[in-house]
Amino acid sequence: MAHKPDFESFRKSILREGPPGPVPLFDLFADPGMVESVLGESFPVNLHHYIEEPMDNLPGEDLPALMQSMDMYVRFCEHVGYDYVFMVTGFSLQRSFTAVADSAERQNWPDGKRYWQDEDKGPIQNWDDFERYPWPQAGELNHIALQYVGSVVPDGMAVAPFMYGGIFENSTWLMGLESFSYALADQPDLVEAICARVGDLATATAAQVASLDNVGMVLLTDDLGFFSGTLVSPAVLRRYIVPHYRNIAKAVHEAGKVLVFHSCGNMYTMMDDLIDDVGIDAKHSFEDKIMPVEEAYRRWGDRIAVLGGVDMDLLTRGSEQDVRRRTREILDVCGSQGGYAMGTGNTAANYLSRENFLAMIDECRRWNEENFAS
């Protein structure tokens, strides 16, 4: 039987309100390549321009094709069995990209390239760059994609806005991680100013999107860690970044919405800050090599929801049998008491095996039938 979207059940399940029920699904977003593959149809436009690049003035002639594209995202989320549609906000900052041929079999963009942040240097290196930078105005942010999706989602389905990068990511992208690192010692006032500007814009974005029709939760994404720790010290994060998280959480919660925090990497020294100080409702993104999601559930599952966790490498290179086994392993530990949603360790990326991705979804459905059959 097809899944009937029910965001209210999703919300209650991850927040452990009421008795435990079937485990819902969660992912941060899906790459266009995966959406096309699952639906078996192509986007009518090259979404790269709209997803990864700032959009000041949307050409009117693009609107019909963009609406068709948003419709595809809604159909994808409904088809897979999510209770919400993930959709990008209008907050995006101009920065430096570098492109390389996409090494995945399934491509995201018509030009066959994948775009990566320039890690070395970004557009802001000094105060002159900061002053000249085309900062968007909070009052002029255009959340047209969210507004459109919010107006067309099926009954029971919500919208989950995500920002393209968080406070730490955008600040380091604007300078380049290397320049940002030097600036912490050489120009701390500039670092503070950049983080403050980004943080204020992100907070304004969160407040704006949390009040839009049908928005159910806000996804704050900010990759803080790598394999063995946070990229910068917890002290730096607490000084420059965490205060803005707190403002975002306040804005989201005042609107009565759920706040999910996504970060890749080993950022676990920050978990108490995020739970007790910021007040996140859920944590997403787990890697088996760093900390399997079951361990995260054991450590923090009584205080926040723990989401996803099927390892991206397994979903990319593993067998369908291994994916089904791992999905079941996770559900056996995390699935019975609420506070958990099944999903990938990161995103429904274009480079995942489509069959493995769908096997994970199917195995969760089977597990739910076995454990929560009414």
230 binds another protein (CB under 8 A): yes
Min dist CB 271 to another protein, Å, is 14
Out of 73, 351, 357, 367, name the contact with another protein by CB under 8 A: 351
CA pair distance 144, 216, nearest whole angstrom: 17
Q: Give the nearest distance from C-beta 183 to another protein in angstroms.
A: 9
Which CB atom, from 116 or from 127, has the smaller least distance to another protein?
A: 116
Please enumerate in sequence order all residues whose Cβ is within 8 A of that of 289, keeping only pairs 6 or more positions apart, or say none: 227, 311, 313
Q: Does 289 bind another protein (CB under 8 A)?
A: yes
Residue 10 belongs to what H/E stretch?
helix 7-14
Which DSSP category does 38 fall into?
Answer: H
Is residue 189 a contact point for another protein (CB under 8 A)?
no
Regarding 72 and contact with another protein (CB under 8 A), the answer is: no
| Residue 182 sits in the site that holds another protein (CB under 8 A) | yes
| Near another protein by CB under 8 A: residue from 6, 62, 119, 277 | 119
The H-or-E segment that residue 113 falls in is strand 113-117
Residue (of 295, 366, 365) closest to 24 by Cα position: 365
Dihedral in degrees, nearest 10, Cα atoms 110, 111, 117, 119: 150
Nearer to another protein, 182 or 372 (CB): 182
d(CA 261, CA 277): 13
3-state DSSP of 63-75: HHHHHHHHHHHHH
Binding mask 198-227 for another protein (x = CB under 8 A): ----------------------------xx
Residues 305-324 that bind another protein (CB under 8 A): 312-313, 316-317
Q: Please say which residue, 4 or 289, places its beta carbon nearer to another protein.
A: 289
Name the phi and psi angles at 78, rounded to 5: -70, -45
| Binding-residue total with another protein (CB under 8 A) | 32
d(CA 142, CA 129): 25
CB of 132 to another protein, least distance (A): 25
CA 183 distance to own-chain centroid: 28
Q: Give the binding range for another protein (CB under 8 A) out of 70-78, 145-153, 176-184, 321-329.
A: 176-184
Nearer of residues 132 and 317 to another protein, judged by Cβ: 317
Q: Is 233 in the site for another protein (CB under 8 A)?
A: yes
Residues 77-106 that bind another protein (CB under 8 A): 98, 100-101, 103-104
- Taking CB under 8 A as the rule, does residue 177 contact another protein? yes
* Tokens describing residue 43: 């986007």
CB of 227 to another protein, least distance (A): 6
Smallest distance, another protein to C-beta of residue 222, A: 16
Record the tokens describing residue 351, joined without a space.
């480079």
Any contact of residue 185 with another protein (CB under 8 A)?
yes
Q: Which of 9, 11, 13, 22 is nearest to 374 (CA)?
A: 22
- DSSP-assigned letter for residue 2: P
116 binds another protein (CB under 8 A): yes
State yes or no: residue 242 binds another protein (CB under 8 A).
Answer: no
The answer to whether 111 contacts another protein (rule: CB under 8 A) is no
Rounded to a whole number of angstroms, the minimum distance from the CB of residue 188 to another protein is 11
Distance CA 210, CA 205 (A): 8
Residue 236 interacts with another protein (CB under 8 A)?
yes
Reported as half-sphere exposure (CB side, CA atoms, 13 A), residue 126 has a value of 1
Q: In what order do the strands lie in the sheet with 158-162?
A: 84-88, 158-162, 217-221, 258-262, 282-284, 305-307, 340-341
Q: In sequence order, which residues have a C-beta less than 8 Å from that of residue 233 and are 6 or more positions away?
A: none
Contact 27, 349 (CB under 8 A): no
Residues near another protein (CB under 8 A) are 98, 100-101, 103-104, 116, 119-120, 177-178, 180-182, 184-185, 226-233, 236, 269, 287, 289, 312-313, 316-317, 351
